[in-house]
Structure 1
Amino acid sequence: MKKIKNIFIEGPIDPAFVAESIAKHTVKTSIGGHSIFLGQVREDKINDKKVESIEFTAYQEMASEKAHEIREEIITKYGLTCAHIYHSLGNIKVGEICLFVFTSAPHRKEAINACDEMVDRIKKEVPLWGKEILEDKSHSWKENKQ
């Protein structure tokens, strides 16, 4: 059994981290395509108040286990070379990256389809919570939408 990786990063996901992750894959010469999803905190309005940030929390051990399960199933289903999931914890401001999903396969379609399914399953199945912090410092619990 593979070691279960902690998928969480405290704070926003730095674009340099995304670039470094891509660069590390140049040695994997069986890869023909990558697909990347970057989730960014959006400035929604709730009751005419702007969202300033989202405070992400999770039951980390359970969430990492579920993410691992999803990752392993999708690697097998699509014949991926590799797949990675990273999610922010803490207060993430509008415009910052909070989710990074990266899939790699011998062919692009498998990488794209796997990435899309992985994001959908993370949003549905992984125990993560987001509290939207509004401009007046009130808050609203975020609902995951497809």
Structure 2
Amino acid sequence: MEKIYITSDRLSSQACIDLVSDNGSGGLVVFIGNVRNKTKDKAVQYLDFESYEPMALKEMQKIADEAVSRWNLHDMVIHHRVGKVPIGEEAVIIACSSPHRKESFAACEFAIDTLKETVPIWKKEVFEDGEVWVSAHP
């Protein structure tokens, strides 16, 4: 499995953990972004993600490369789902490992924040009475 990955299939947190596991790591952090059932007290049916995949993969790799360099990580994995994602399932998983936990926490937070700002992946929330695009990216 690839370390930087976009798929319409269900994501696996264990696969991400396996990809970054290293015997020299004292800290391994995983962020899982799940689809929740409500937005501002409005019931969500599911999310639908679209992506300009060639650019998204390049941007995700840039994020991982910067995080590895900046926080001296052993490795980082970023997996994102596209298409229809049901309530309770993972939309994004970011995992990283480092000699010490503090670096892994900081790098993981940087990665999800930067991904939401720069990666061309668009999210549509679908409700019983309509839908809305949110968090549009460049």
Per the normalisation by structure 2, the TM-score is 0.88
**Are 1:34 and 2:32 matched, yes or no?**
no
Q: How much is the aligned-residue C-alpha RMSD, in angstroms?
A: 2.0
Unpaired runs of 5+ residues, structure 2, are none
User: What code does the residue aligned with 2:5 have?
Assistant: I
CA-CA distance at 1:90 after TM superposition:
0.6
> Residues 11 and 91 of structure 1 are in contact (CA less than 8 Å); yes or no, is this contact kept in structure 2?
no
What residue in structure 2 maps to residue 50 of structure 1? 43
Residue-by-residue CA offset, 1:41-68 (whole Å, 9 max, x unaligned): 112246x742111110000000000111
Structure showing greater Rg: 1
Report SS of the residue matched to 2:10.
coil
Residue-by-residue CA offset, 1:100-132 (whole Å, 9 max, x unaligned): 000100110001110011110001110110111
Per the normalisation by structure 1, the TM-score is 0.83
CA-CA distance at 1:20 after TM superposition:
3.5
What residue in structure 2 maps to residue 108 of structure 1? 101
**C-alpha separation in 1, matches of 2:18 and 2:126:** 35
Runs of 4 or more, structure 1, over 6 Å off, are none
Aligned length: 135
Q: Name the % identity.
A: 30
What residue in structure 2 maps to residue 85 of structure 1? 78
